[in-house]
Amino acid sequence: MSLKDWLKSAVSAPPRVHMFLAALVWSLAGAFLFLKGIKEIWSTAEPVGLWWFFLAAGTGAVKGQLVLRKSAARIIQRIESRGERRFIGSFLSIRAWGMILVMILLGRMLRMSTLPPLLIWGVYLAVGTALFSSSRFFWAGFFRFERHS
């Protein structure tokens, strides 16, 4: 067995695992951004009304339903259609991994910007809500695999 074949078999997984990883990544990233947004908003010197949390979380929930639902559907379709034993990181396409890197860099740029902290952390809260709320589509896909196994 060549090194390439060994690596492919050693770091490959079935679609059920890919679906679990997608659900886990979206859930953890969403929870992290949501909690970071809440913590930082709470610790700003500016007076914050409860309405600000609801506005940011509501915006994120709408984004999760209208935008990320479509992205999740594409990723789920990709996972389900690719067959057995694929590279473990391929639950997302290279383009999607690139988008994640761009989003991380944009988050860093946002934190370094001169925008008001309340706005910056409101974006974090909104994006976290969007990711976490749309992770339910991956969890549903994962449990569909579980029932069919």
Q: What is the pLDDT of residues 111-148, one digit of tens each?
A: 999 999 999 999 999 999 999 999 999 999 999 876 66
Residue 6 lies in a domain: no
Residue 85 lies in a domain: yes
Residue 101 lies in a domain: yes
% of the chain at pLDDT higher than 90: 67
User: Is residue 8 over pLDDT 70?
Assistant: no
pLDDT per residue as tens digits for the range 120-130: 999 999 999 99
Residues 6+ apart with CB under 8 A from 33: 124, 125, 127, 128, 131
In this structure, the chain runs to a length of 149
Residue 7 lies in a domain: no
pTM: 0.87
Residue 1 lies in a domain: no
148: part of which helix (H) or strand (E)? helix 117-148
How far apart CA 71 and CA 6 sit, in angstroms, is 32
Q: Say which residue, 53 or 35, is predicted with more confidence.
A: 35
Structural domain span for residue 42 = 13-148
pLDDT of residue 87: 84
Residue 3 lies in a domain: no
Among 11-15, 54-58, 140-144, which is the least confidently predicted range? 11-15
SS3 label, residue 92: coil
* Angle at the Cα of 25 from the Cα atoms of 107 and 123, rounded to 5 degrees: 30
Across residues 16-39, what is the average pLDDT? 95
How far apart CA 58 and CA 126 sit, in angstroms, is 7
Residue closest to 118 by CA, chosen among 56, 59, 33: 56
Across residues 34-61, what is the average pLDDT? 89
Q: Over the chain, what is the mean pLDDT?
A: 89
Tally of domains within the chain: 1
Across residues 99-108, what is the average pLDDT? 95
132, 26 in Cβ contact below 8 A? Answer: yes
User: How many CA atoms lie less than 13 Å away from 26 in the CB half-sphere?
Assistant: 26
Tell me the backbone φ, ψ of residue 87, rounded to 5 degrees.
-50, 135
